[in-house]
C-alpha cells in the first residue's frame, strides 16, 4: 500500500471523526444558549464531511449504488457479528455502563441497517415508491415508514423520532 493511500485513509478517518465531533459540540452549544457558536460548529462539521467524502472518493471508495449497498451490508454485518459483541463483552467485564449501553444500542440498530440495506439491494428499482425513514434521536434506531409506539431499542416515544429528508 502506498504512503498516499495510507495518508488518505488516515485523513478520511480523522475528517469523519471531526465532523461527528463538531456536530455533537454544536448540539451542546445550542443547549447552553450559544446559537452562533453552534452555527460555527455546524459549518465546520459540514466542511469536515466534505473533506472526508473527497478523501473517500480519492481512495476509490465510492462505487455504483449496487457496490455501495454490498459494501454497507458487509460493514454492518462485521459490526453485528464481530465488532460490537466484543465491545459489549469488554464493557460488561469492566463495568462501563454508559459504554455498554452505547454499544448495545448500536449493535441492535446495526442489525436493522443491515436488513434495510439487504432489502434495498434485493429490490433495486429507480421507480420504486418513495419510503419515508424515521430515526430515533437517542439510539439511532432506523425505521422505514412512519413510526408509532416506543423505540424497540431504547423506549423513546415515536413522536420524538426524526424524519429523514
Q: How far apart are the first and last CA of the chain?
A: 38
Look at residue 7 in the predicted model and tell me its pLDDT: 97
Q: Domain 63-127: give its CATH architecture.
A: Up-down Bundle (1.20)
Look at residue 127 in the predicted model and tell me its pLDDT: 93
pLDDT tens by residue, the chain, 165 residues? 899 999 999 999 999 999 999 999 999 999 999 999 999 999 999 999 999 999 999 999 999 999 999 999 999 999 999 999 999 999 999 999 999 999 999 999 999 999 999 999 999 999 999 999 999 999 999 999 988 999 999 999 999 999 999
Collapsing DSSP states into helix, strand and coil, what is residue 49?
helix
Alpha carbon distance 64, 74 (integer Å): 15
Three-state secondary structure of 102-119? HHHHHHHHHHHHHHHHHH
Look at residue 160 in the predicted model and tell me its pLDDT: 96
| Domain 3-58 belongs in CATH node 3.60.20.10 | no
**Residue corresponding to grid cell 451542546:** 28
- What CATH class does 129-165 carry? mainly beta
**Residue corresponding to grid cell 495518508:** 7
Look at residue 79 in the predicted model and tell me its pLDDT: 98
- Structural domain boundaries of the chain? 3-58, 63-127, 129-165
Amino acid at each position: 500500500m502506498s504512503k498516499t493511500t495510507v495518508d488518505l485513509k488516515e485523513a478520511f478517518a480523522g475528517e469523519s471523526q471531526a465532523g461527528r465531533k463538531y456536530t455533537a459540540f454544536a448540539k451542546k452549544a445550542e443547549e447552553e444558549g450559544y446559537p452562533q457558536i453552534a452555527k460555527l460548529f455546524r459549518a465546520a462539521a459540514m466542511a469536515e464531511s466534505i473533506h472526508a467524502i473527497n478523501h473517500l472518493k480519492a481512495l476509490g471508495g465510492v462505487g455504483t449504488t449496487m457496490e455501495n449497498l454490498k459494501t454497507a451490508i458487509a460493514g454492518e454485518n462485521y459490526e453485528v457479528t464481530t465488532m460490537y459483541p466484543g465491545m459489549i463483552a469488554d464493557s460488561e467485564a469492566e463495568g462501563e455502563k454508559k459504554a455498554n449501553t452505547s454499544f448495545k444500542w448500536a449493535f441492535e440498530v446495526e442489525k436493522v441497517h443491515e436488513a434495510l440495506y439487504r432489502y434495498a439491494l434485493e429490490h433495486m428499482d429507480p421507480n420504486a415508491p418513495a419510503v419515508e425513514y424515521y430515526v430515533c434521536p437517542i439510539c439511532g434506531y432506523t425505521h422505514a415508514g412512519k413510526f408509532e409506539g416506543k423505540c424497540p431499542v431504547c423506549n423513546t416515544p415515536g413522536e420524538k423520532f426524526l424524519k429523514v429528508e
